[in-house]
Amino acid sequence: MTYLQISEITKTFGKFTALQDISLDVAQSEFICLLGPSGCGKTTLLRVIAGLETQDRGRIYQNGKDITRLPASKRDFGIVFQSYALFPNLTAAQNIAFGLQNTGLQRAKVRDRVQELLELVGLSGMGQKFPSQLSGGQQQRVSLARAIALSPGLLLLDEPLSALDAQVRASLRQEIRSLQKRVGITTVMVTHDQVEALTMADRIVVMNKGEIEQVGTPIQIYCEPETPFVANFIGSMNFLPASVTANPHKFSCFEQIFELLNSETKSGSTAGTQVSLAIRPEDVQILNPALSPADSTNILETQLANIEYMGSVHRLSLNIAGEPKLIADLSADVARNLELSEGMSIKAHLPPDSIRLFNHS
């Protein structure tokens, strides 16, 4: 069931177009991540949803109600900012109670609700502390508790983890996600961190230059990127120049024939049309030089230019005809068995089911 419906939103700041015809449906209790580089419009979209910015065109419906022209104070949402925006002169408990006190709730009930919320975010007993006496992670928990205090229908998170240390970030990531599942609140989160998006979201909305590039589950976004931008922005991706042959499943790449599964060129592409073959570094297979391959399809002759040690993986930079073209990630044990040395010739195998095809537009 659609809870939040965003329809053809356009927003400009002077000559700069921040959002261009954005449409998106968010289901009840869904966790949506708006992901993209800085300046892609994701924060503007969140602020438009909150009513903190007003779009030039387009409509927004929440829970079936048209909220297009409602100011923030008349909408139904809670919000968490990167800066926490906790009122520094109020204690954690007072911050959480601030909105509740305004609802005409009895004093004792407000106190109970604040206790309940503090427990929910794992801060029971910390209510009397001022924000400056709390760590960044704790402040963000208070901010989260404050945002859901009034039980809003929609939770908006604006880069909530970006100001935190890596370890705190990882643990709070999980906590926010499990809290969201428990409460069942529809959530829209803005982030520029792909790991956050992949680990937390039900669906990811990848944005670039004010437009939506792709909407999909984390697995879809990672494994079936629809555009080179998405492929490159989430994880790493090798792009190899190739051309269409007479057979729609076969492509010519560095004078080798490559076979692809489940990928076809745009209808009407004739032989010789330029395309890109894309493959993730972890999908590239390095063949043991001691064994000769069964056939020569999908194999590239390369030279090992550099090995980057990254702990659990080794990242190989491979040259094709003297040019750096391919990156391959090998797990540490595989790399050890291959007895690699810089400058050596390597046969790289690109499995047909791992290659994606991108047409040049």
Partner 1 sequence: MNPAKSQVIPIKQILTAEDWIKRSLLVCAFFWLVTVIILPLYQLIAKSFLNQQGAWNGFANYVQYFNTPALSASIYNSFQIAIISTILAVSLGFLFAYAITRTAIFGKGIFSTIATLPIYIPSVAQAIGLIYLFGNQGIITKGFFGLLPGFDINLYGLNGIVIGETLYCFPLSVVILSTALRITDARLYEAAISLRTPSWRTFLTVTIPGVKYGLVSAIFVSFMQAFTDFGVPQVIGGNFNVLATDVYKQVIGQQNFEMGATISVLLILPTLLAFGLNLWIAGRQSALISAKAVPLQPKPNLLIDSIFYLFCGAITFLILSVFGTIIFASLVKVWPYNLSFSLNNYNFEAAGGGGMTAYWNTLQMAAYSAFFGIFVIFISAYLVEKTKGLNWLRSLISFLSTLPNALPGMVLGLSYIFFFNQQQLTLPGTNIIFDNPLRGIYGTIAILVIANIIHYYTVSFITASTALKQLDPEFESVAASMKIPFYRTFWAVTLPLCLPAVLEIGIYLFVNAMRTVSALVYLYPPDFPISSVAIVNMEDAGEVAPAAAMSALIVLTSLVVKSVYSLATISLRRRTQAWLER
Q: Which residues bind partner 1 (CB under 8 A)?
A: 50-52, 54-58, 68-75, 77-79, 81, 83, 85, 87-90, 98-99, 102, 130-133, 146-147, 149-150, 152
Radius of gyration of the chain (CA): 25
Sign of CA dihedral 44, 47, 52, 58: positive
Helix axis angle, 92-100 to 107-120, nearest 10°? 120
**Residue indicated by tokens 């966790």:** 31
Least gap, CB of 52 to partner 1 (angstroms): 5
CB of 176 closer than 8 Å to CB of 140: no
- 46 versus 346: smaller Cβ distance to partner 1: 46
Across the strands, what pairs with 24?
A: 6
- 149 versus 242: smaller Cβ distance to partner 1: 149
Q: Which stretches within 240-284 are classed as H helix? A: none
Which two structure tokens, joined as six digits, stand for 348?
Answer: 């790289």
Q: Provide the edge-to-edge strand list for the sheet that holds 186-191.
A: 78-80, 154-158, 186-191, 31-35, 203-208, 211-216
- 47 versus 314: smaller Cβ distance to partner 1: 47
- 13 versus 321: smaller Cβ distance to partner 1: 13
Least gap, CB of 249 to partner 1 (angstroms): 40
Least gap, CB of 73 to partner 1 (angstroms): 4
- 158 versus 329: smaller Cβ distance to partner 1: 158
Least gap, CB of 291 to partner 1 (angstroms): 55
- 75 versus 141: smaller Cβ distance to partner 1: 75
CA 341 to CA 322: how far, in whole Å? 17
Least gap, CB of 170 to partner 1 (angstroms): 25
Least gap, CB of 158 to partner 1 (angstroms): 9
